[in-house]
């Protein structure tokens, strides 16, 4: 067990804010720095090499700004870059991603069950969830489906409930995602559609999101004598009003976005 002090969290957009907020609410950390790589949104349609390059540059930025832990709050980056980031900072910076805690949760709670997975094309094509789950417990049935349009749907935040529900229905009505026991939201944006997904599936399907599962993982690994009030800073690689609105909504207060020049030379 170890004491926590300052954590860096990153994602390609607003989705990682769901994870960042849950981490802040643990009361573990004195400070949290969030980096939203808006300039390269979405990661889900980028190459593995590109995502790895972004992840290393952002992780180095976070460490240079005093972070002693890193949370990769993006499934595409978790699938493509976790091992590389760990190797790069192996000596002194713990790295947590959003995939491994979810896999552990599924293994513990759904043996012999049917589990669905939705995510970006990069995450689904990687096969990382299926591989990790089935290596440990072949009795779990995992059915995955790429749902890439959900990310821009969430980022824009301008679409009617009717259109959101129609897109969800079009993606999820196939045979693979019928009679599920649980559905993994394999993109940190997707909890922002949790109500719509719960309405679509109805009772009996557990909707599994990374934010609370990652927070529980951190709480199990760190000492928290007294809950801390966490100071937060927010960096973006490009400014968008939508990101600012979402950050304010998540954290319930004014947010000062700082534009980083990290990728200006790209």
Query: What are the structural domains of the chain?
Result: 2-97+212-259 (3.40.50.1860), 100-209 (3.40.50.1860)
Averaged pLDDT score across all residues of the chain: 91
Q: What percent of the chain has pLDDT over 90?
A: 71
Predicted local distance difference test score (pLDDT) of residue 224: 75
pLDDT of residue 37: 97
pLDDT score recorded for residue 266: 56
**20 has pLDDT over 80:** yes
DSSP string, 68-133: SEEEE--HHHHHHHHHHHHHHTTTT--EEESSHHHHHHHHHH-TT-EEEEEE-HHHHHHTHHHHHH
**DSSP-derived secondary structure letter, 45:** G
Per-residue pLDDT tens digits for 73-125: 999 999 999 999 999 876 678 999 999 999 999 999 999 999 999 999 999 99
Q: What is the pLDDT of residues 165-186, one digit of tens each?
A: 999 999 999 888 999 999 999 9
DSSP string, 170-239: HHH-SGGGSS-SEEEEESTTGGGGHHHHHHHH-TT-EEE-HHHHHHHHHHHHEE-SSPPPPEEEEEESS-
> Could you give the residue numbers annotated as active site?
74, 187
| Residue 131 predicted with pLDDT over 90 | yes
């Amino acid at each position: 067990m170890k004491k926590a002090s300052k954590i860096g969290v990153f994602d390609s957009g607003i989705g990682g804010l769901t994870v960042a907020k849950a981490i802040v609410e643990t009361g573990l950390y004195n400070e949290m720095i969030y980096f939203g790589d808006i300039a390269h949104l979405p990661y889900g349609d980028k190459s593995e090499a590109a995502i790895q390059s972004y992840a290393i540059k952002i992780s180095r930025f976070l460490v240079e700004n005093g972070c002693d832990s890193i949370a990769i709050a993006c499934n595409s980056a978790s699938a493509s870059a976790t091992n590389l980031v760990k190797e790069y900072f192996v000596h002194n910076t713990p790295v947590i991603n959003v995939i491994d805690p979810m896999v552990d949760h599924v293994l513990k709670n759904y043996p012999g069950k049917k589990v669905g997975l939705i995510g970006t094309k990069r995450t689904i094509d990687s096969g990382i969830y299926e591989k990790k789950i089935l290596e440990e417990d072949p009795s779990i049935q995992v059915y995955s489906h790429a749902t890439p349009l959900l990310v821009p749907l969430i980022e824009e935040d301008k679409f009617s409930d009717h259109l959101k529900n129609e897109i969800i229905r079009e993606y999820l009505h196939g045979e693979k995602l019928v009679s599920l026991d649980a559905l993994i939201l394999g993109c940190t944006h997707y909890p922002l559609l949790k109500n719509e997904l719960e309405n679509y599936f109805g009772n009996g399907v557990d909707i599994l999101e990374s934010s609370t599962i990652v927070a529980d993982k951190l709480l199990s690994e760190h000492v928290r004598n007294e809950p801390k009030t966490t100071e937060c800073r927010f960096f973006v690689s490009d400014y968008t009003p939508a990101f600012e609105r979402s950050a304010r909504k998540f954290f319930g207060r004014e947010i000062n976005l700082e534009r980083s020049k990290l990728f200006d030379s790209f």
